[in-house]
Structure 1
Amino acid sequence: MFLDRPIAPDPYEMLPPVPSFTLISDDVRNGEPMDLEFAHDSVGGANRSPQLAWSDFPEATRGFTVTCFDPDAPTGSGFWHWVLVNIPVNVTELDRGAGRTPAPGVGGAFSVRNDYGVEGYGGAAPPAGDRPHRYVFAVHALDTERLDVTPNSTAAYVGFNLTFHTLARAVIRPTYQIAQ
């Protein structure tokens, strides 16, 4: 049913280019399927965000934002799974499960509502039988300590603000699929 549609572009190919830095994870890998643990509870997952760690970002970095976006969702606009803003510059790792609200150990950071309508991480849940979806986990190194957004801001509005404050971006793109 959904397999006939074209593959969506990578969301960051559509924005002004920025340098990259190092992003690693004990839990997810580029192009490899995510474990059920990181899927949404509606499909039997634990709805837990993966561990992420980053380094080698620009010296001018003053803060970070972490996002997770599914460009392959059959919505016409993708699907935001997680947007954690205002991460202090001294935080360079998120433990597994840090996508809860409030974010444990991430002083002052907060999540805006994802496309499930809740704050925090919302795991993968592509339509059963659809091709593998890409989950674009990105850490954005920012030229500011804080974005001028609130927990009531939309993920798209945060994304708009990120375009003007991102010095560099690091990305991991695991996949997830639910068999028919």
Structure 2
Amino acid sequence: MRKVIFYIATSLDGYIASSDGSVEWLPAPPPGEDYGYASFLSTVDTTLMGRTTYEQVLTFGEWPYATLSNYVFTHTPPEAKPASVQFVSDDVVGFVTQLRQASGQTIWLIGGSTLAAPLLAANLVDELMLFVVPRLLGSGISLWHGQDAAGPLTLLRTQTWPDGMALLHYRIKRSI
């Protein structure tokens, strides 16, 4: 069975975007540093994201996930899209349950919190990789969208960088 990893950056106070949806507060990495992103991405062949996250990624320039299978959950798909993107209006839990059964590599749950909440509640997320950015936003779009608790976590590793970035990597324990 394929793993689903919720890999996302968050401010120290738990926000993934400013109140207006912007991620301009995210710092550019120092030259030659990618915080392990390329290594993680090499294990991924599928992404999951909500419509808001998809539209945010489009503002960064050329579509960065052209070699991956990308599923964007929305009830109102736009007409134009990159070739590697499929819009999905099916039930997210049912869709991801089936997707996990298919052969492939890691499934990256990019965001946002509205998409992550039902997947966490349904025990469909295996790991959390949280990049904590040393900034306090005070308000914005919360990482946690009022979902039911996913259960206890096991810390797999931590990593810190001189600029204050910190990775917290957890496995979600499953109850039997």
Task: State the TM-score, normalized to the length of structure 2.
Answer: 0.31
Higher RCO (C-alpha 8 Å, min separation 6):
2
Task: State the TM-score, normalized to the length of structure 1.
Answer: 0.31
